[in-house]
Amino acid sequence: MDETGWREGRRRAWLWVAATATVTVFLVHARRGAVAARALLGGFAGIRVTDRWTAYNGWPLRARQLCWAHLRRHFVAFAEAPRTAGWLGGALLAETDHLFAWWHRVRDGTLTRGSFRTYVSPLRRRVETLLWLGSRCRHARTAATCREILLLAPALWTFVRLPGVEPTNNAAERALRPGVLWRKGSFGSHSPAGSRFAERMLTVAATLKQQRRNVVDYVTMACEAALRGDPAPSLLPATVVRRGRRRAA
């Protein structure tokens, strides 16, 4: 999940996105907090990969994965600080590089997940120890960030425990780029109806591209269905639709 700024008329709004392997959903909402996050996700029971924004704190840590790309940016900032904070930042960056080197091997099949868990176990202890030391250093900004990360520490390692979970929310950031270009080109939307159009067209385009389906063909079928008074064709993959029909039967 991720979010970025939007405009609705003269008001500030936010464009939210939730990206999965097969479906990407957008929402324009007046708020950036937990109310908007829950409006987007509803009763979703899977794992949420997010940054540390407080809107996501309402879900259990066992159902959350913090984005390591965002964490690495914090560690770079630590490394640029003087004295102890700088040393801690360098050490955390080194541990992050080890973690991602192993993760890339898991993804390309040259390292088993069992071995990956074994390797990560001592690294986890080292990282959390470094964060604990950082939370007590004299550099106020580093100490505050380390304390915040430690409160969410279980969510650092969900991707190690559960197959299919990514360690970053890069997929959501990439999905937001067309929305950012839309906002820059049209300055957002003029009305709630315009926001509904924007979020739905972004959802349609991103989802169909993921599934390698033709966007123009889908929109044409959706318009024809609307003229007949029929429901729009499903954005879900055909296998999911068939599975749902079997369950209903």
Strand partners of residue 26: 17
Region 198-211 average pLDDT: 96
What confidence score (pLDDT) does residue 144 get? Answer: 97
Judged against a pLDDT cut of 60, whether residue 244 lies above it is answered with no
pLDDT at 241: 52
What pLDDT shows up at residue 245? Answer: 56
Q: Which of 93-97, 187-191, 218-222, 242-246 has the lowest mean pLDDT?
A: 242-246
Angle at 125 (CA atoms; ends 122, 130), nearest 5 degrees:
130
pLDDT tens for residues 26-56?
999 999 999 999 999 988 889 999 999 999 9
Encode 198-230: b = buried (16+ Cβ within 10 Å), e = exposed.
bbbebbbbbbbebeeeeeeebbeebeeeeeeee
Give residue 40's pLDDT. Answer: 94
Q: Which residues, other chains included, contact 50 with Cβ-Cβ below 8 Å and sequence gap of 6+?
A: 1, 2, 56, 64, 65, 66, 67, 169
Mean pLDDT over residues 182-201, rounded? Answer: 96
Model confidence over 52-73: pLDDT tens digits? 999 999 889 999 999 999 999 9
pLDDT, tens digit (0-9, with 9 covering 90-100), for 74-109 = 999 999 999 999 999 999 999 999 999 999 999 999
Q: Please give the average per-residue pLDDT across 146-156, as a whole number.
A: 97
Task: Name the least confident of 124-138, 200-214, 225-239.
Answer: 225-239
